[in-house]
Chains A and B, each alone.
Chain A
Amino acid sequence: MASTMSKTAGESPTAPFGIRALLIALLPILGVLLYLDGQDYDADLVELERRGSAAGLGADAFPDSIAGLERFGQIRRFDTDNLYEYINGHAEFFLGAGFQGLTVVEYGVPGGEQPVLVVNLYHMGEPLNAFGVLVDEAGGSEPVDLGSMGFRSGNGVTLIHGPYYVQISSYEDAVSAPEAGAEMVAALEGVISNPGLAFRFPDLGTVTSTRFVKEDYRGLGFLNGVLERRFERNGEEIEAFLVSGTADSVQHLVRAFETFFREDELPYRKIEKEGLTFYSVNDPYEGDWFFLPLGERLIGVYAPLDEGLAAAIKAFAKGSSG
């Protein structure tokens, strides 16, 4: 009985001896083929996913030399899975701000043994995200005219250009971080176009202030990465905000607003003006205000929708698409 059970449970078809011998004979050949293939190792094939998230994120922008220095050592790349290896303890901050990839390149004097300049190039997904990180990390330092916006602190510079947040640190007084920053911006020009577009606002009046709000704009948990601008218009101050992302994410945001309005019973309606669809909100806490999705942007204005504002936004929409 025991023998029968054992045979039933463990029994498997047995191949004829000839086939088994052939398979065994093929093993060394397979081994040789695998070895030869290994000699043609292509990191791109093996690390396709990781490189996929970092490649195309500015890694190709690095010049071979910068500020009279030569590239030193290997280019290091980090993505969302391993950023903490480079900035353990601070990775969450970048991840929460839209981080896509980081490329680290060091430069040194020709023939030198140590690098004297380090460039950290963060791709933050969206120019607005890069702006937010810059304001949080370096805002308040000495402004420098680099890229879309830049700051100098000690012997380093921090700047943004397009979706890139760039940190350049010099460890030699003779090596100018701003000079390296200017060269890096020039190099980035080759991989991005129209880097300042995301910061454009409709012309709603005289700008009085601009700030970035990383999350929970006006207490709304779904409204993050917001650029807010205050304008003086007809003697009154109004606030407007702008969020940029993909067209899908903007539509998602519109749905989040609609859900919120329903839950809080805030009356709103869609108004067609100037060929655009505005969401006009009658809000007892914010006052009357409106917003509208414009492709990859969502713009909100804390003021009642009037002809002048609609026309200004129409002009902006036309300029953005043109």
Chain B
Amino acid sequence: MKRRDFIKSSVALPAAAALGVPADGEAKTDKARVRSYRKVGRTEIQMSDISCGTGRLPSASLVLRAIDRGVNYFDTAPDYGRSEEYIGEALKKYKQRDKIYIASKFCHDVPFEAGVSHLQAVSGKADYKSAVQDSLKRLNTDYLDVVFVHAIGELGDLERERSRLLDEDMLAAADELKREGKIRYLAVSSHGPNHMEELLMEAVRSGHFDLIMPAFNFMKFPRVPQVLKEAKARGVGVVAMKTLAGAKDMELDPGGALFEHAAFKWVLSHPEVAGLVVTMKRVRDIDLYLQASGEAFTAADQRTLERYAALYGNDYCRTGCGDCEPACPAGVPVASILRYQMYFERYEEEKRAMQSYDRLGRNATECLTCAAEGCVAACPHGLPVALKLRAAHEALSFSTFA
């Protein structure tokens, strides 16, 4: 039995699975559960430090299991498959709506496509409001705790993204939705790949947003700490995502800290961060991840992360970076392509990744014959960018009619 499996099975000790455990942190079972709740900026949200990302939610029952273990914050979106419907189903059984927090996005119920599925500045106030209304219907609730302007920085056009971030129609819609009691807080998320820190800083300083959700992990993100400090100073809450840095190989150190735990604890060791959302798609994910709740970051955790960085530092394309893109003569959206490859390989979301790749206006076909390799020199982390792009193209462009 692998150590990981042992740990998974050992936390799955016999326990009284009682549906409807209030999200008050009170332990009722021996299973791993949330042990820390933190206030999110100036909001009234006290979120579980390790919370549920629902991008690959398999069922309503998983939501109920997570609630039973003390998870009280669920991050969803209209384009996360059936996620909203499953949460809505769960809410029919778990009737204590006020005990959990639901965050969704200004987004259409279609597969992700940069610049399309997330509402744009041209959408208009009515579209923003109807997007929320549709989410409420799917979620079987009458209010969202948080609604995000999602994935800001997904396009390279800074001005266009800035317009989306501070779109007057969006802000007016958010105000109305707040007055109508349909949303409580406005937020913005970003995993780049363009201008992540710049846009988030602008969001924080604008005063319009109650919380931000950046991609944040132990890999190098030199400018994120400044954003976090500014957010803290202004009472803007921070929820982290993409905390596993690509989650390459989990069996790093048989005698040391588990990688996931180390990565989570590192993120949560930042006082500005209220909590993190991580995709929970298996029952055993809950067992495994929640063991890190409320735990302090240790020297053993540091060693595990250092080992990971040494092994994969030259392989992981930092979410939100995009430093290499100006060096590409063909304007290939490097970061997006490598993110889709991560979805394909690591998240096993092959179809979604291929669909997203297919929708890119410009893809890595250009790289197959390009000898310039300026992207390689431009990567501050030493990634073999050109090679990675060719590999990504091969994986993502597989055509049934090739």
Contact = CB atoms under 8 A, between A and B. Distances in A.
Given A89-B395, A215-B348, A219-B283, A264 B401 contact: no
Contact of B394 (A89, A154, A167, A284): A89
Interface string B381-402: 0000000000100111010111
Contact of A216 (B61, B281, B391): B281
A235 B282 CA distance: 31
A139 B59 CA distance: 21
Given A89-B391, A216-B281, A284 B398 contact: no
Contacts of A87: 398
A138 interface: yes
Contacts of B64: 284-285
A221 B284 contact: yes
B17 A90 contact: no
A138 B395 contact: no
B350 A167 contact: no
Contact of B401 (A89, A154, A221, A266): A154
Contacts of B400: 137-138, 153, 156, 158, 167, 169
B212 interface: no
A136 interface: yes
A8 interface: no
A219 B62 contact: yes
B9 interface: yes
Interface string A74-117: 00000000000001111001000000000000000000000000
B12 interface: yes
B19 A285 contact: yes
Interface-central residue, B13, B68, B284, by most chain A CB under 10 Å? B284
Given A263-B9, A265-B17, A284-B17, A219 B398 contact: no
Interface in A37-95: 87-90, 93
B1 interface: no
Given A89-B391, A156-B400, A265 B14 contact: yes
A217 interface: yes
A286 interface: yes
Contacts, number: 85
B54 to A, nearest CB: 11
A88 B17 CA distance: 45
A137 to B, nearest CB: 6
B371 interface: no
A133 to B, nearest CB: 10
B17 A169 contact: no
Interface string B1-22: 0000000010011111111000
A36 B18 CA distance: 77
Contacts of B284: 221
A159 to B, nearest CB: 11
A284 B59 contact: no
B265 interface: no
A200 interface: no
A284 B282 CA distance: 17
Interface-central residue, A138, A153, A156, A219, by most chain B CB under 10 Å? A219
B42 interface: no
A156 B401 CA distance: 6
A218 interface: yes
Contacts of B108: none
Given A169-B401, A285-B65, A216 B58 contact: yes
A88 B396 CA distance: 11
A197 interface: no
B379 to A, nearest CB: 22
A265 B15 CA distance: 6
A217 B58 contact: yes
A90 B351 CA distance: 11
Contact of A88 (B9, B18, B394): B394
Given A218-B59, A221-B282, A263 B401 contact: no
B401 A90 contact: no
Contacts of A167: 400-401
Interface-central residue, B19, B395, B400, by most chain A CB under 10 Å? B400
B351 A220 contact: no
B17 A266 contact: yes
A155 interface: yes
B15 A219 contact: no
A136 B15 contact: no
B355 to A, nearest CB: 9
11 contacts: A88-B394, A93-B350, A137-B400, A155-B401, A158-B400, A216-B282, A218-B62, A219-B281, A221-B283, A260-B283, A286-B59
Interface of A: 87-90, 93, 136-139, 153-156, 158, 167, 169, 213, 215-221, 260, 262-266, 283-287
Given A87-B398, A216-B58, A218-B61, 19 more contacts: A89-B394, A90-B394, A137-B400, A153-B401, A156-B400, A156-B401, A169-B401, A169-B402, A216-B282, A218-B58, A219-B58, A221-B283, A265-B15, A284-B68, A285-B17, A285-B19, A286-B59, A286-B61, A287-B93
